[in-house]
Amino acid sequence: MSLLYALDLLGTAAFAASGSLAAIRREMDLFGVLMLGLVTACGGGTLRDLLLGDTPPFIFKDETYLYLSVAVALVVFFLHHHLDFIRHPLPYFDAVGLGTFVVIGTGKALEFNLGLFGSVMMGVMTATAGGMIRDLLSAQVPMVLQREVYASACLAGGTLLYLLHHYTTIPHAWALVASALLVVVMRLAAIRYNWALPRAVKQHQD
């Protein structure tokens, strides 16, 4: 499944870029930039492996993810004035990463025989927990809790994969591709059309 691995690395690089850019905006020093790139890219999968009891987590079994994240963060740190050409495609790479992370997370949960809710949660967590840790370390309310149909796309993709796996005879590889594509398409459509989830109207101010 080397296509999945390639997409996984692409997503890792995109997430590392978003993390290190956030650190630069918060005026962190070099270590902070490396750290935020690292946790944004690898935090979700690490948390998933912790919850599944699959320790040490994947990043310690294949250190490629760690080196790639730090390399991207270093490039962003030293060249971020010259990276304007990357700002336009970054959301697309990010969307591909999102789809890939969801199907890897939910796919791994299926191997561990989790139920529907747990399997979908593992997919969503793999894709979004890194960004949440990034925002926590920046002392901000996580973006995913406030804006856009980011998590919903992950929910839809994870659910589709669970259903295809348990209730159809579609080959696993096709189920992965279909579910990842659903995430990517929903995510890009959300950006394009500025979709947003409803918010509760506030009733009181405390």
Residues of this chain that interact with a second copy (CB under 8 A) are: 23-33, 35-36, 46, 50-53, 55-57, 59-60, 63, 66-67, 77, 80-81, 112, 114-118, 121, 132, 136-142, 144-147, 150-152, 196-203, 206
Write down the least CB distance from residue 198 to a second copy, Å. 6
Q: Which position has the token pair 């996580």?
A: 142
A 10 A CB-CB count for 72 gives: 23
Q: Which is nearer to a second copy, 143 or 181 (CB)?
A: 143
Q: Which is nearer to a second copy, 85 or 169 (CB)?
A: 85
Q: Which is nearer to a second copy, 100 or 128 (CB)?
A: 128
Write down the least CB distance from residue 107 to a second copy, Å. 16
Write down the least CB distance from residue 159 to a second copy, Å. 13
Write down the least CB distance from residue 2 to a second copy, Å. 21
Q: Which is nearer to a second copy, 71 or 181 (CB)?
A: 71
Q: Which is nearer to a second copy, 121 or 180 (CB)?
A: 121
Write down the least CB distance from residue 28 to a second copy, Å. 5
Question: What are all long-range contacts of 64-69, with beta carbons under 8 Å and residues at least 24 apart?
Answer: 64/9, 65/9, 65/12, 65/41, 66/38, 66/42, 68/9, 68/12, 68/13, 68/16, 68/41, 69/12, 69/13, 69/15, 69/16, 69/37, 69/38, 69/41, 69/42
Query: Residue 28 and residue 50: Cα distance in Å, rounded?
Result: 28
Inter-CA distances, 56 with 35, 52, 65, Å: 19, 11, 14
Query: Residue 179 and residue 184: Cα distance in Å, rounded?
Result: 9
Write down the least CB distance from residue 89 to a second copy, Å. 18
Query: Residue 11 and residue 189: Cα distance in Å, rounded?
Result: 18
Q: Which is nearer to a second copy, 2 or 139 (CB)?
A: 139
